[in-house]
Amino acid sequence: MRTVPATQRRGPSLDIAVVGGGMVGSAAALALSRAGFSTALLEAKPPSPWDAQDEVDLRVVGLAPSSIALLEELGVWTSIRQARACAYARMHVWDAESGAAIDFDAASEGRDLLGYIVENSLVQWRLWQSLDAAGVQRLCPAVVKGYEVRSDRTVLELADGESLSVRLLIAADGAGSPLRERAGIATRGRDYGQRAIVAHVTTERAHAQTAWQRFLPTGPLALLPLADGRSSVVWSLPEAEARRIQSLDDGAFLNELGIASDFRLGRVTGSTARAAFPLRLQLAESYQADRFVLLGDAAHTVHPLAGQGVNLGLRDVVELRDTLVAARDAGRDVAGEQVLRRYARRRRSADTLDAYGFDALARIYAWQSAPLVAARGLGVRVLDRLAPLKRRIAGHAAGF
């Protein structure tokens, strides 16, 4: 696997530079290069090699069919699926307060599965490994100190003194995106005042290729199926409660997790080490500036209750690639304002609806007064019986 050294970075101008080598950034670089754009990917630090002998990464993603379709198109899905991925065909969601539940079943939607639970690091590593063969100029380590927008180019100044001239700069550099700040793009949203505790656990009963999610007054708890038979826990809790849970010894943690999950999979019998990360809703006020666009977490971060964060980012990739290809085929400047505005308008609209939909769901399940809990329970029970509406919800989550 080749990383371009600094001494080889001088060269002809490129069509596109993608900054950020995470899942979304790497997928964007790969997709754009395969679409015929000369592309560079800039990343400060290469990902750690993924190894099947290593412990399963604590950070997992529920890949929707739309994301799987993109990864198939990019030629990496088969190796991901064969390495370590767990298909799930059913999702069971229930309310701790009202007892109301809703089920989503792939068979009832005429599909084989709802998605796959996969380690973040596995997806990123397979994408990273594929960059060279696709013709992506991979610059690593590389840090962008600044950039200058010209009439037909953007010139990037790198920390090592080199420069890179491109037609379009894509920021996929995470929720705290330095490039977004340099572009003067503000964000809005809210801090949930919560942390998500993550771990992998063993349980008395099998997960049955089902994603289990229970809404508690303190926040949602998800048990996601893993390929080795364990379940991945994503437990959202208020800051103080998350700190308390994190401080418990293993036995106390397993007991509290069992109670919180209503022992749906029986007793929780073992756990890996735990980690926690803060939860925040954040949306960029704009997804584009002069010869500049945002992708993935740099554009949006959402509550993990729906497991859609990475899927939204990969939908950004598809929309941007298709928009740029259409512009190029029509003889237009692919980094022209109208072209980028088209991408930004479409994706920001879709992402905003999804982000605030997830936010509304989190707020609704935080209701604790008896009349509101009863109303919520009634609504869930009615929804569970409305097959056409359930199909629409499942189809939207799938990316169709």
Reduced to 3 states (helix: H, G, I; strand: E, B; else coil), residue 264 is: strand
Give the pLDDT confidence score for residue 294 in this predicted structure: 98
By CB neighbour count within 10 A (0-12 exposed, 13-18 middle, 19+ buried), where does 236 fall?
A: buried
Give the pLDDT confidence score for residue 384 in this predicted structure: 64
CA 169 to chain centre: 21
Give the pLDDT confidence score for residue 272 in this predicted structure: 97
Positions in the chain whose pLDDT score sits under 50: 1-12
Q: What pLDDT, in 10s, does the model give residues 283-322?
A: 999 999 999 999 999 999 998 875 678 999 999 999 999 9
Contacts of 240 (CB under 8 A, 6+ apart): none
Q: Say which residue the tokens 């395969």 belong to.
A: 34
Give the pLDDT confidence score for residue 12 in this predicted structure: 41
Q: How many CB atoms lie within 10 A of CB 370?
A: 10
Give the pLDDT confidence score for residue 398 in this predicted structure: 53
Give the pLDDT confidence score for residue 365 in this predicted structure: 73
Beta bridge partners of 281: 190
- 0.75 exceeded by the pTM? yes
CA dist 142 and 343 (Å) reads 27
Give the pLDDT confidence score for residue 1 in this predicted structure: 30
- Nearest CA among 260, 254, 259 for reference residue 236: 260
- Kind and range of the H or E run holding 140: none
CB 189 within 8 A of CB 283: yes
CA angle, 77 then 122 then 69, to 5°: 25
Give the pLDDT confidence score for residue 252 in this predicted structure: 98
- Nearest CA among 12, 23, 52 for reference residue 131: 23
Give the pLDDT confidence score for residue 371 in this predicted structure: 80
Give the pLDDT confidence score for residue 112 in this predicted structure: 87
Q: How many CB atoms lie within 10 A of CB 395?
A: 13
Question: Where along the chain do its domains lie?
Answer: 1-400
CA-to-CA dists, residue 138 to 133, 279, 320, 355, angstroms: 11, 31, 20, 32
Give the pLDDT confidence score for residue 11 in this predicted structure: 37
Region 1-400: CATH code: 3.50.50.60
